[in-house]
Amino acid sequence: MKRIEKIFFELNHCPSERGATAGELAEKLGLSRANVSNDLNCLCKEGKVCKSGTKPVYYRPSQSAKRQNSDNILDMFAKSNPSLFHCVEQAKAAVLYPPHGMHMMLFGETGVGKSMFAEMIYHYACESGHLVDNAPFVVFNCADYSDNPQLLVSQLMGTKKGAYTGADADRPGLLEKADGGVLFLDEVHRLPPQG
C-alpha cells in the first residue's frame, strides 16, 4: 500500500467527526508531518478529502469519497493489492465462519505487513458486526519472551497476588484482556517448543 493510500485509509477510520490534523496522522502512522501534509493536499485536489479550520487544519474524507469507500476495509485493500486477493478472501471467510469465526495464522517475510493485515482483519470483523465496535485488539510480541517460557505464561494467563516475589496484586493476562476481541501474537515462530 502506498503512503498516500495509508494516509487516506487512516483518515477514513478516524473516529472524530472533525477529522484529523496532518500532525495527528503523521504520529499515528510514524511518518513525516511534511509528507503527510503534502499527500493530504493532493487528496484535497482530487476531491477525496476536505479541509477546514486554520492552525490546526483538520482533514476529513469528502462525502463523495465516503460513498466511493462504502466497500469494507478488506475489499479496498484487495483492490489496491490485487496479488493479495486470495489472501483477503480467505481472511474474510475465516472471520465470517460460523459461529464465531476461525483462528488464523499469517505467514510472510519480515516487513511485508502481517501486523497491518491483522489490524485490517480486525476492523473488517468490527465492520461486519462479528465483533463489537470497541472490541479489544491486543498485540503481543512473542520475540520478547522467547527465552523465558515462565514469563510468557504469566503474560498470557495473568498472575495472582503472591504467586511470586513482587506479585503484590492480581494481574489479568492477555487472554482475559482480549476476551471478545482479537489477540495478535506477533513473531510467534520465535517461541521455543516449551513456550
- Which H helix or E strand runs over 185? strand 182-186
Specify the pLDDT at position 4.
Answer: 86
The stretches in the chain having pLDDT less than 50 are: 64-65, 67-69
Measured in degrees and rounded to the nearest 5, phi and psi for residue 40 equal -65, -40
Q: Could you tell me the domains of the chain? A: 3-68 (1.10.10.10), 73-190 (no CATH)
- Reported as a single tens digit per residue, the pLDDT across 86-96 is 999 999 999 99
Specify the pLDDT at position 67.
Answer: 44
Specify the pLDDT at position 65.
Answer: 47
Compute the radius of gyration of the chain from its Cα atoms: 20
Return the bridge partners of 124, or none: none
Specify the pLDDT at position 93.
Answer: 93
Q: What is the number of alpha carbons within 13 Å of residue 190 lying toward its C-beta?
A: 14
> What is the identity of the amino acid at 7?
I
Specify the pLDDT at position 63.
Answer: 66
Specify the pLDDT at position 128.
Answer: 83
Distance, CA of 72 to CA of 69 (rounded, Å): 7
- pTM of the complete model: 0.61
Specify the pLDDT at position 87.
Answer: 92
Beta carbons of 160 and 141 less than 8 angstroms apart: no
Q: What is the number of alpha carbons within 13 Å of residue 126 lying toward its C-beta?
A: 16
- Which H helix or E strand runs over 90? helix 85-96
Specify the pLDDT at position 140.
Answer: 93
DSSP 106-143: ----TTSSHHHHHHHHHHHHHHTTSS-TT--EEEEEGG
β-pair type (137-141, 182-186): parallel
